[in-house]
Amino acid sequence: MLLVPAPEAWRVFRHAASVALGDVSPAGRARLDAIARWLQDAAYADWVDAGLDDGGVWIVRRLHIRVEAFPRFGDALEVATFCSGTGRLWAERRSTVSAHGRALVEAVALWVHLDARGVRPRPLPDGFEAVYGAAAAGRRVSARLAHPGEPVDGAAVRPWHFRAADLDLADHVNNAVYWQALEEELVTTEPQRGLVAEIEHRAAADAGPAQILSAGAMRWIVAAGEVVATLALGGGAA
């Protein structure tokens, strides 16, 4: 996914956040699931501010995160976000998380617009182009998934479990929770610099037992016998 620069003259929404006790590892580094949640909150706040609610819902299809330096406990953050591309049923959102005047995290996400039940894709709402079109600058993006969808032979397996507390208003595991599967590894081997990672969501998961399969840079999250998400270290942004 391409990390396009912010537009100079068009809509860039700015959302405040802070790194609290529940957001950090024992080393005081912001966890990836907290970063994903800040991005999600900023996207929702932008949508509410735009006044385009048509009763539909948005779900994350793909999220690429490039951490130049991890936010730390106590940091006051700004999440700057804008529409960087569109398709018929989806839109791309670029975001930058900053603290102390420095950009710490760059992210790009693909969000798919669904009906009110969160089942079927539906066209972008009326008025979307008027609010976000100038920032997107006519750039068209694909919703095609790029990660290998099936685990490779010989992948290491470890048990996982999604809790009822991980479910959101759509009654499935919230997108930010999936990053905890990678955080389990990072907490024991704290990254000394930044990190690049990308997740692709393939199906909704419910509370219950799951598995994490790992091989090289890839992680496959399997629930109810189905790959529900894939995580790639190093990601795929140009």
Residue 238: pLDDT above 50? Answer: no
**Six-digit token pair at 23?**
């957001």
User: Does the pLDDT of residue 236 top 90, yes or no?
Assistant: no
Top CATH class, 156-233: alpha beta
What does the pLDDT look like over 216-231, one tens digit per residue?
A: 999 999 999 999 999 9
Q: Are 212 and 181 in contact (CB under 8 A)?
A: yes
- The CATH class for the domain spanning 13-136 reads alpha beta
The C-alpha atoms of residue 8 and residue 112 are separated, in whole angstroms, by: 26
Q: What are the extents of the domains in the chain?
A: 13-136, 156-233
Q: What is the mean pLDDT of the chain?
A: 94
Structure letter (DSSP) for residue 7: P
Distance in angstroms (rounded) separating the CA atoms of residues 186 and 65: 15
Distance CA 16, CA 76 (A): 8
pLDDT bracket for residue 55 (50, 70, 90): confident
Per-residue pLDDT of 153-187, as tens digits, reads 999 999 999 999 999 988 899 999 999 999 999 98
User: 13-136 and 156-233: same fold?
Assistant: yes
Alpha helices in 64-208 (DSSP H): 128-136, 180-186
105 has pLDDT over 90: yes
Range from 32-36, 96-100, 155-159, 166-170 carrying the lowest mean pLDDT: 166-170
